[in-house]
Structure 1
Amino acid sequence: MNSSSAASASPGDPVAPDTALAPDSTVTADDARASDAARASDTARLFERIFGAEPTGVWAAPGRVNLIGEHTDYNDGFVMPLALPHTTTVAAAPRGDGVLALYSADLPGPVAVLPLEDLTPGAVPGWTGYPAGVLWALRDAGHEVGGASLCVTSTVPTGAGLSSSAALEVASAMALCELYGAVPDGQRLARIAQRAENAFVGVPCGIMDQMASACCTAGHLLHLDTRDMAARQVPFDMAVEGLRLLVVDTRVKHDLADGGYAERRAGCEAGAEALGVPSLRSIPHDGLDDALAPLGDPVVRALVRHVVTENERVARVVELLEAGRARELGPVLSEGHASLRDDFRVSCPELDLVVGTAVAAGALGARMTGGGFGGSAVVLVEADAVGELGERVVAASAAAGHPQPRVFEAVPSAGARRIL
């Protein structure tokens, strides 16, 4: 039997607005509950139409945006993401025929039918590899998980650096666990999801995306130490400060992204080996120039410099937030973008234009976010300047012949949850 007839893409098409939000745009707890209820109802009805029966339940996991701490998670460093209101929703039910059946509302094609005995790393192409990888990872870890029917809908923008794959993995992991009586905590869900992506799909990602999707809480950033997995929730309410954190999705994703990510991870590992440390986390920021001196390869030296300085930027952001000095976050964000552009070399002209235009238009700071080579930027801006800034970013992109970016507010939202 063919393992998958689905298209090779992640599910979901964003519903975020294509223009800048009004300055007073917020998402309240009531809004979130209403949105969950609507998504649950819509996805459950679709499941019933596709599979001919009601689902056992409906689960949702969000995409994320990373405020600071980029390419540090696979170097045992610090990260600081927040969950977005945009979610991937999975309606699911168990089945006893030894099959994983998958349907995406956002991709054309029939139900993908995957025999459990055929679920081996690298064998399932396209978006179906993510939930299939989760089921494989659960079984490989000793969980007695059988067949299931999953129906997927999503509002997480794909290709935007906002972790649509992690949202799909975490929502699928929570659904499969609860269907079969295994209910690990958020960190365990994240580990299963990461293993699915690393070992089954073949993407050497760190743990940040999955932890953000599984463990973030509304109104907070997740300050995560990826070495010992210590996590704490840091309050983050820019509206109280008269500020907004915007996401600008450039709508571009360059083809070198997959290989480029792996190359940079390998370069970081080579740097750690050359310096005789278990990971780049072990290199202190103080005396960094002396620490870098033994590295003869300038490319590796730059990669190491970015990771060490980025960890220090995360520490500064924590200090500023705890001191109530949110406006001073802006220069730290812009400094992070320069490091990602010049040392880590993962930016691109579209992102650089967005960041430069935003700062020139009065933003307090901006930087690319996510793996790079396209995707999104985050922009910290005064609330009353949101509309004008969005217009200027859109106009600059049009003048350069780039796709029209999508601009929306990053509202710190809840992590994975059952919604029906």
Structure 2
Amino acid sequence: MSDPAEAAEAAQTAEAADGFRAVHGGEPAGVWAAPGRVNLIGEHTDYNDGFVMPLALPHTARVAAARRDDGALNLYSADVPDGMVRLDTAKLAPGGGEGSAGWAAYPAGVVWAMREEGLLPADGAGADLYVRSDVPTGAGLSSSAALEVATAVALDGLYGLGLSPERIALLCRRAENDFAGVPCGIMDQMASACCTAGHALYLDTRDLSHRQVPLDLAAEGLRLLVVDTRVKHALGDGEYARRRAGCEAAAAALGVRALRDVPHEELDRALARLSDPALRPLARHVITENRRVRRVIDLLDAGDTRDVGPVLTEGHASLRDDFAVSCPELDLVVESANAAGALGARMTGGGFGGSAVVLVEAAGAEAVGAAVAEAFAAAGHRPPRLFEAVPSTGARRLEG
């Protein structure tokens, strides 16, 4: 096997299948995978019915699975200590009920959502799952969505459901919102389910219409770096939900369904109509961020990829100053990368830690990475983790 990617996939398939045999006994029916994602532009817009542009990472969650007809759901993660969780699918319940706590809430939530929507038999439907993931956790790269989507495509295969990628994404969002209790939007699940290699996904989160946008950075002499700060600040606990509630309050005050319905041309008038000053910066970020997504689409369509860089940096300033979800480590990535010659950079993900993306000339990528590492060392931070974001394929069954 000469293709390194094919060889790596074969090795991952074999590892997952071997792990399944060791843990569950017997043979898995197959191995399925779903990727993490990084968001090029469009942050905190998805739960405002707005526009986003994620791309799938090479990093995936893999699920080896076999069907059960006794209602048992046996989940094993190779990534956590004491990784076995045994559940009864008939007793799965959100809000602190069976299966709704810890890492198992994400795959269990998918089973629950499928049962709630009548996709799985009411009696007896179960599964044995073996999970292994190399999507970094806590880095804002959607490790939970990757696990959900991998579980969903595995169950789709086991039970012959024939679900579309969009339906899988919606089921997984329901699992995360209603079962795991995380009020996320739809971007992460759609990216994991629908992205294609060599493309970014331009997604309208209201109607889920989407377009695959070619993004061959290597051909243009560019690279997109992901810098995982390896920090997650406690301030993030509950702050996501508070900002979402604030955006909803701003939309209600403006008399629109969601902030995506406020045209950028009416930004100043809209902000003046908000009597609560705390809502104005939230609305300003969402309205301007939707415009930034469209600007990036126009630039990519025109072949002006280098001009995307300043838009990224502009987006970071909005996330830092208006939405207030950045942190010193993320700001340091952006500042040090741009000072070292990057074309642009911004935080990505929910914020308060996690990762940033940096657009660089390929020839200067090593110097930019070194500058960021040196800045972290000088500030006394843990060394960041850097890797290249290569637009990769979405959820699929792996072939050994």
Please say whether Structure 1 and Structure 2 have the same fold, judged by a TM-score greater than 0.5.
yes
Shift of 1:183: 2.1
Residue of structure 2 equivalent to 1:200: 179
Specify which of 394, 397, 402 is matched with residue 373 of structure 2: 394
> In the alignment, residue 87 of structure 2 is paired with which amino acid?
L
Shift of 1:397: 0.7
Shift of 1:117: 2.1
Alignment of 1:158 with 2:131, yes or no, is: no
Structure 2: runs of 5+ lacking an equivalent = none
Alignment of 1:131 with 2:104, yes or no, is: no
SS in 2 for 1:240: helix
**Residue correspondence of structure 1 range 215-254 to structure 2 within 5 A:** 215-254=194-233
Deviation per CA, 1:253-281: give whole Å up to 9, x if none: 11122300000000000000000001001
User: Partners of 2:350 and 2:376 in 1: how far apart?
Assistant: 21
Shift of 1:316: 0.4
Specify which of 16, 20, 24 is matched with residue 51 of structure 1: 24
TM-score by length of 1: 0.92
SS in 1 for 2:127: strand
Q: Percent identity?
A: 67
Specify which of 275, 278, 284 is matched with residue 305 of structure 1: 284
Shift of 1:287: 2.7
Contact 1:246 1:378 in 2 (8 A): yes
SS in 1 for 2:128: strand
Residue of structure 2 equivalent to 1:144: 120
User: Partners of 1:380 and 1:318 in 2: how far apart?
Assistant: 15
Alignment of 1:74 with 2:43, yes or no, is: no
User: Partners of 1:31 and 1:208 in 2: how far apart?
Assistant: 30
> In the alignment, residue 136 of structure 1 is paired with which amino acid?
W
Alignment of 1:351 with 2:324, yes or no, is: no
User: Partners of 1:296 and 1:115 in 2: how far apart?
Assistant: 50
Deviation per CA, 1:33-78: give whole Å up to 9, x if none: 2222111110000000111111001000000000000000000100
Residue of structure 2 equivalent to 1:189: 168
Shift of 1:309: 0.3
> In the alignment, residue 364 of structure 2 is paired with which amino acid?
A
Distance verdict in 2 for CA 1:386–1:230, change over 3 Å: same
Distance verdict in 2 for CA 1:217–1:110, change over 3 Å: closer
> In the alignment, residue 270 of structure 1 is paired with which amino acid?
A
Shift of 1:30: 3.3
SS in 1 for 2:141: coil
For these two proteins, the number of residue pairs brought into alignment is 392
Residue of structure 1 equivalent to 2:76: 103
SS in 2 for 1:165: helix
SS in 1 for 2:103: helix
User: Partners of 1:396 and 1:128 in 2: how far apart?
Assistant: 37
Of the structure 1 ranges 296-305 and 410-419, higher mean CA displacement relative to structure 2 is found in 296-305
Residue of structure 2 equivalent to 1:22: none
Alignment of 1:262 with 2:235, yes or no, is: no
Specify which of 43, 46, 63 is matched with residue 90 of structure 1: 63
Alignment of 1:115 with 2:88, yes or no, is: yes
Shift of 1:110: 4.9
SS in 2 for 1:286: helix
TM-score by length of 2: 0.97
Shift of 1:245: 0.5
Runs of at least 4 residues off by over 3 Å: none
> In the alignment, residue 11 of structure 2 is paired with which amino acid?
A
Residue of structure 1 equivalent to 2:321: 342
Q: How much is the aligned-residue C-alpha RMSD, in angstroms?
A: 1.0
User: Partners of 2:235 and 2:176 in 1: how far apart?
Assistant: 19
Structure 1: runs of 5+ lacking an equivalent = 1-28
Residue of structure 1 equivalent to 2:36: 63
Residue of structure 2 equivalent to 1:214: 193
Contact 1:96 1:147 in 2 (8 A): yes
SS in 1 for 2:246: helix
SS in 2 for 1:298: coil
Residue of structure 2 equivalent to 1:40: 13
Shift of 1:135: 0.1
Of the structure 1 ranges 140-149 and 319-328, higher mean CA displacement relative to structure 2 is found in 140-149
Residue of structure 2 equivalent to 1:9: none
Specify which of 302, 325, 331 is matched with residue 310 of structure 2: 331
Contact 1:66 1:81 in 2 (8 A): yes
Of the structure 1 ranges 94-103 and 349-358, higher mean CA displacement relative to structure 2 is found in 94-103
User: Partners of 2:52 and 2:312 in 1: how far apart?
Assistant: 13
Specify which of 293, 301, 310 is matched with residue 322 of structure 1: 301
Contact 1:67 1:378 in 2 (8 A): yes
User: Partners of 2:108 and 2:234 in 1: how far apart?
Assistant: 25
Shift of 1:344: 0.4
> In the alignment, residue 263 of structure 1 is paired with which amino acid?
R
> In the alignment, residue 104 of structure 2 is paired with which amino acid?
T
Deviation per CA, 1:89-115: give whole Å up to 9, x if none: 000001122110000111110521001
SS in 2 for 1:287: helix
> In the alignment, residue 211 of structure 2 is paired with which amino acid?
R
User: Partners of 2:280 and 2:339 in 1: how far apart?
Assistant: 31
Shift of 1:118: 1.9
User: Partners of 1:73 and 1:284 in 2: how far apart?
Assistant: 16
Contact 1:174 1:183 in 2 (8 A): no
Alignment of 1:287 with 2:266, yes or no, is: yes
User: Partners of 1:321 and 1:186 in 2: how far apart?
Assistant: 25
